[in-house]
């Protein structure tokens, strides 16, 4: 089979590799659509994401949908030809975190496209059947590839939690930020404000239903958000940009007793934050690490039409041109949100 293999930073090659074989309880999935994630880009650009370092050839890609080609030994509720979405993180299923339902925190998690586990920029992947989700007939494979990033947004909305009528600010209008905004609306938020420095992305946010958009290069974001909310501040701020400045703005923009949810990954492990205000206003700060138990909700949200993921897709590339997708993101000369690779 063909696969795009990353050898080191900026060195990706499309090669012929042996087709994987499904073990007991696994399924061989023919990949139809797979998105380029921000973490994929960092591995390609820098050869690492935080403490995860590319030390051996690695196949990237973990946002995928496809078709079951073959089943491994053992009983199964799937059959060849089934259309599926793949949940890319497989935990141990035995530890306390797994048993509590917080399997995203499992210390033995094997997550696709995270060293040393290969991902899905390939024609085929072998994956555990209990982390497959059926793709409804009304959904396209491209929509299926968007389930994984939407799951991050839904998990963030649950962590907040977002209640009916809540006011929400989303810092960052990249794919995750926009999908977090969509998840907030689907969860019952009354107003969703989106903040970014890119005018084109802010227009995308308007098209996705943002109540208002804000550009911190043009106005005081904290002051504006307080004005919108009668001087109180928003109920929830979701920081999805990975900017330390945006994180500080999020902490200042929430009302007393409000919640700040952190999704974005920061360049440095330690960043400055106005923590005295957190104490004085009794704020809740919650981290989001991937997701747990939300894939079915993400599939249903797309299938029902409550969340439109198609408008975030800006580029489609064959597997042979996958590196061009990374270079498009790196060059920042084109308007890019989500690039899908179609093996």
The verdict on 6 and 142 lying in the same domain is yes
Q: Is residue 302 part of a domain?
A: no
The verdict on 163 and 130 lying in the same domain is no
Q: Is residue 299 part of a domain?
A: no
The verdict on 160 and 95 lying in the same domain is no
List strands edge to edge, sheet with 11-16.
Answer: 11-16, 2-8, 58-59
Give the residue numbers spanning the domain of 274: 153-287
The verdict on 119 and 254 lying in the same domain is no
Q: Is residue 303 part of a domain?
A: no
The verdict on 106 and 206 lying in the same domain is no
For residue 319, what pLDDT is reported? 98
Q: Is residue 298 part of a domain?
A: no
Tell which residue, 326, 247, 251, has the closest CA to residue 283. Answer: 251
Contact 208, 181 (CB under 8 A): yes
Residue 343: count other Cβ atoms within 10 Å of its Cβ.
Answer: 24
User: Which residues are CB-neighbours of 300 under 8 A, at least 6 positions away?
Assistant: none
Q: Is residue 331 part of a domain?
A: yes
Tell which residue, 160, 172, 171, 162, has the closest CA to residue 283. Answer: 160
Sign for the pseudo-dihedral over CA of 300, 242, 247, 219: negative
Q: Is residue 294 part of a domain?
A: no
> Does the pTM exceed 0.75?
yes
Last residue of a domain, one of 255, 287, 319: 287
The verdict on 261 and 331 lying in the same domain is no
The verdict on 177 and 41 lying in the same domain is no
Q: Is residue 223 part of a domain?
A: yes
The verdict on 138 and 80 lying in the same domain is yes
pLDDT tens, N- to C-terminus, the chain (343 residues) = 999 999 999 999 999 999 999 999 999 999 999 999 999 999 999 999 988 999 999 999 999 999 999 999 999 999 999 999 999 999 999 999 999 999 999 999 999 999 999 999 999 999 999 999 999 999 999 999 999 999 999 999 999 999 999 999 999 999 999 999 999 999 999 999 999 999 999 999 999 999 999 999 999 999 999 999 999 999 999 999 999 999 999 999 999 999 999 999 887 889 999 999 999 999 999 999 999 999 999 999 999 999 999 999 999 999 999 999 999 999 988 999 999 999 9
Residue 110: count other Cβ atoms within 10 Å of its Cβ.
Answer: 14
Rounded-to-integer distance, Cα 86 and Cα 262, Å: 25
**Burial of 180: CB neighbours in 10 Å, binned 0-12, 13-18, 19+:** buried
The verdict on 158 and 280 lying in the same domain is yes
**Total count of residues recorded for the chain:** 343
The verdict on 227 and 253 lying in the same domain is yes
Tally of domains in the chain? 2
Q: Is residue 239 part of a domain?
A: yes
Rounded-to-integer distance, Cα 334 and Cα 42, Å: 18
CATH of the domain at 62: 3.90.180.10
For residue 298, what pLDDT is reported? 98
The verdict on 47 and 91 lying in the same domain is yes
For residue 45, what pLDDT is reported? 97
The verdict on 215 and 321 lying in the same domain is no
């Amino acid at each position: 089979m063909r696969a795009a293999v990353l050898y080191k930073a900026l060195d990706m090659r499309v090669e012929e590799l042996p087709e994987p074989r499904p073990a007991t309880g696994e399924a061989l999935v023919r990949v139809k659509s797979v998105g380029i994630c921000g973490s994929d880009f960092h591995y390609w650009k820098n050869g690492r994401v935080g403490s995860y370092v590319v030390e051996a050839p690695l196949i990237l890609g973990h946002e995928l949908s496809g078709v079951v080609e073959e089943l491994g030994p053992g009983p199964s509720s799937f059959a060849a030809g089934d259309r599926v979405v793949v949940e890319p993180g497989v935990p141990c299923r035995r530890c306390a975190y797994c048993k509590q339902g917080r399997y995203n925190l499992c210390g033995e998690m094997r997550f696709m496209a995270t060293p040393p586990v290969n991902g899905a920029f390939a024609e085929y992947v072998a994956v555990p059947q209990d982390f497959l989700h059926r793709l409804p007939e009304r959904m396209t494979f491209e929509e299926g590839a968007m389930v994984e990033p939407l799951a991050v947004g839904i998990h963030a909305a649950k962590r907040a939690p977002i209640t009916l009528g809540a006011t929400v600010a989303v810092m960052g209008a990249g794919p995750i930020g926009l999908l977090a905004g969509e998840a907030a609306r689907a969860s019952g938020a009354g107003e969703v404000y989106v903040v970014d420095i890119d005018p084109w992305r802010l227009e995308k946010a308007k098209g996705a239903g943002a109540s208002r958009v804000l550009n911190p290069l043009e106005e005081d974001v904290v002051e504006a958000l307080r004005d919108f909310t009668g001087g109180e501040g928003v109920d929830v701020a979701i920081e999805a940009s990975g900017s330390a400045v945006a994180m500080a703005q999020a902490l200042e923009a929430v009302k007393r007793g409000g919640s700040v949810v952190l999704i974005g990954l920061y360049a440095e492990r330690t960043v400055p934050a106005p923590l005295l205000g957190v104490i004085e206003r009794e704020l809740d700060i919650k981290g989001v690490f991937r997701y747990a138990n939300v894939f079915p909700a993400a599939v249903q949200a797309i299938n029902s039409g409550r969340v439109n993921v198609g408008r975030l897709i800006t580029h489609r590339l064959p597997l042979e041109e996958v590196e061009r997708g990374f270079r498009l993101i790196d060059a920042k000369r084109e308007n890019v949100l989500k690039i899908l690779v179609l093996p």
